[in-house]
């Protein structure tokens, strides 16, 4: 049986290998702290296996996470000059390979889907091939590995080091931001443990008349959007609003379909992202890149769509999730 933990080890190992490469990359002014960040992250991936199996204590891992926060938070993670192709070379390569370039990229979702839908049902000697419950995640991992193979074959690339280097370039370009979604998820867990969700629920219950499904749905979606406008990030709003209304009221009390409630709730948050200057990378950066005089130009272009889509999300959730 292929287990999801094996895949987490692979990801951890990739981080560690890339960290070792970074340590030797003299073009990176922060090479040692960068290597420490990615190496520690890789080690955390490996150590986590023990934590989920309760064979090792979780406290050292918590300490390591705080160390990662400090390394990233105090701007100690940098990037080197990646050795890659020039714009001109890329155009020539694009002309040579044409639409074949899309084949490896499309391999990932295709393999992931096949694993999630078909391989899920296959078992050898009575044991399933893929660990039950982790089929999609394993599909993604298998898809990524297959795609590297397909890509190297399509592009006539013999050296495995080339995709590893290219991947490290992207990793360095993303920097600590890569870790943010996971940390927001961790924050959600802490909020839950400290009772934030219960408190917001008490607040909402005093606002919300009992059993009013439409009001509850609207409050969840609009709350997601409003929180996102304030924080500039739907990922940060999600754990709070879900612990407050999404899970206890819409799912537990009113028996909503969990995937529908949660997926649409997140999309309602995205409507908020469209209209907030707090989401600088989506709204202010394009205005700067396009040399607009009105830095709110993109927000103005997006606002009517955001309002209409928020209404759509409320309706979809109300009509189809229960």
Partner 1 sequence: MIVLLGVLVVVLGFATRRNPLLVVGVAGIATGLLGGLSPDDILRTFGEGFASSRSVTIFAVTLPVIGLLERNGLQQQARTLVTRLGKLTTGRFLALYLLLRQLTAAVGLQTIGGPAQSVRPMVAPMAEAAAERANGGRPLPERLREKVRSHSAAADTVGVFFGEDCFLAIGSILLITGFVNATYHTHLEPLSLAVWAIPSAVCAFVIHGGRLLYLDRALERELITVNAEIAVQTPGDNSPRRIAGGTE
The DSSP symbol for 250 reads I
Q: How far is the CB of 210 from partner 1 (least distance, A)?
A: 22
- 200: tokens are 């917001």
By CB neighbour count within 10 A (0-12 exposed, 13-18 middle, 19+ buried), where does 10 fall?
A: middle
* Contact between 123 and partner 1 per CB under 8 A: no
Site for partner 1 (CB under 8 A): which residue of 130, 224, 249, 316? 316
What's the closest the beta carbon of residue 221 comes to partner 1, in angstroms?
11
Residue 2 near partner 1 by CB under 8 A: no
Beta bridge partners of 124: 127
What's the CA gap between 37 and 184, in Å, rounded? 18
Residue with the two structure tokens 């229960």: 322
Tell me if residue 123 falls in helix, strand or coil. strand
Q: Does 121 bind partner 1 (CB under 8 A)?
A: no
Out of 1, 105, 118, 122, name the contact with partner 1 by CB under 8 A: 105
**CB 259 → partner 1: shortest distance, Å?**
4
Q: How many residues bind partner 1 (CB under 8 A)?
A: 151
When asked if residue 118 is in the footprint of partner 1 (CB under 8 A), the reply is no
- Subset of 138-197 contacting partner 1 (CB under 8 A): 140-141, 143-145, 147-148, 151-152, 155, 157, 162-171, 176-196
* Helix ranges restricted to H, the chain: 4-23, 31-52, 59-73, 87-97, 102-117, 135-154, 161-174, 180-194, 196-207, 213-231, 234-241, 258-273, 280-289, 297-320
Residue 37 is a binding residue for partner 1 (CB under 8 A): no
Sequence-distant (6+) residues with CB within 8 A of 70 are: 76
Q: Write each residue from 201 to 240 as x if it is in contact with partner 1 (CB under 8 A), else as -, in one continuous string.
A: -----------------------------xxxxxxx-xxx
Q: Is 21 in the site for partner 1 (CB under 8 A)?
A: no
Please name the residue that has the structure tokens 């909020």: 191
289 makes contact with partner 1 (CB under 8 A): yes
**Which of 47, 21, 48 has the alpha carbon at shortest distance from 34?**
21
Residues 70-89 that bind partner 1 (CB under 8 A): 70, 72-75, 84-85, 87
Q: Is 33 in the site for partner 1 (CB under 8 A)?
A: no
């Amino acid at each position: 049986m292929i287990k999801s933990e094996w895949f987490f080890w692979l990801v951890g190992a990739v981080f560690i290998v890339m960290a070792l490469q970074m340590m030797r990359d003299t073009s990176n002014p922060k090479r040692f702290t960068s290597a420490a960040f990615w190496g520690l992250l890789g080690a955390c991936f490996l150590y986590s296996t023990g934590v989920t199996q309760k064979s090792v204590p979780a406290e050292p891992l918590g300490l390591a996470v705080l160390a990662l926060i400090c390394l990233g938070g105090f701007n100690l993670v940098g990037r080197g000059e990646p050795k890659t192709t020039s714009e001109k070379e890329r155009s020539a390569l694009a002309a040579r390979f044409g639409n074949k370039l899309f084949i490896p990229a499309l391999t990932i979702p295709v393999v992931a889907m096949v694993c999630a839908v078909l391989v899920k049902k296959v078992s050898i000697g009575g044991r399933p091939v893929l660990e039950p419950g982790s089929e999609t995640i394993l599909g993604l991992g298998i898809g990524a590995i297959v795609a590297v193979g397909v890509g190297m074959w399509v592009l006539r690339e013999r050296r495995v080091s080339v995709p590893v280097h290219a991947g490290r370039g992207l990793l360095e370009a993303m920097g600590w931001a890569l870790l943010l979604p996971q940390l927001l998820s961790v924050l959600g867990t802490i909020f839950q443990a400290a009772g934030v969700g219960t408190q917001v629920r008490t607040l909402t219950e005093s606002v919300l008349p009992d059993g009013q499904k439409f009001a509850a749905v609207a409050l969840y979606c609009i709350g997601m959007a409003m929180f996102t406008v304030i924080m500039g990030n739907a990922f940060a709003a999600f754990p709070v609003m879900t612990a407050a209304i999404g899970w206890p009221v819409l799912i537990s009390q009113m028996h909503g379909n969990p995937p529908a409630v949660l997926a649409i709730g997140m999309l309602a948050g995205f409507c908020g992202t469209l209209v907030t200057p707090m989401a600088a990378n989506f709204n202010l950066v394009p205005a700067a890149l396009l040399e607009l005089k009105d830095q709110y130009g993109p927000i103005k272009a997006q606002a009517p769509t955001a309002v209409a889509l928020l209404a759509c999300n409320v309706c979809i959730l109300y009509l189809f999730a229960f």
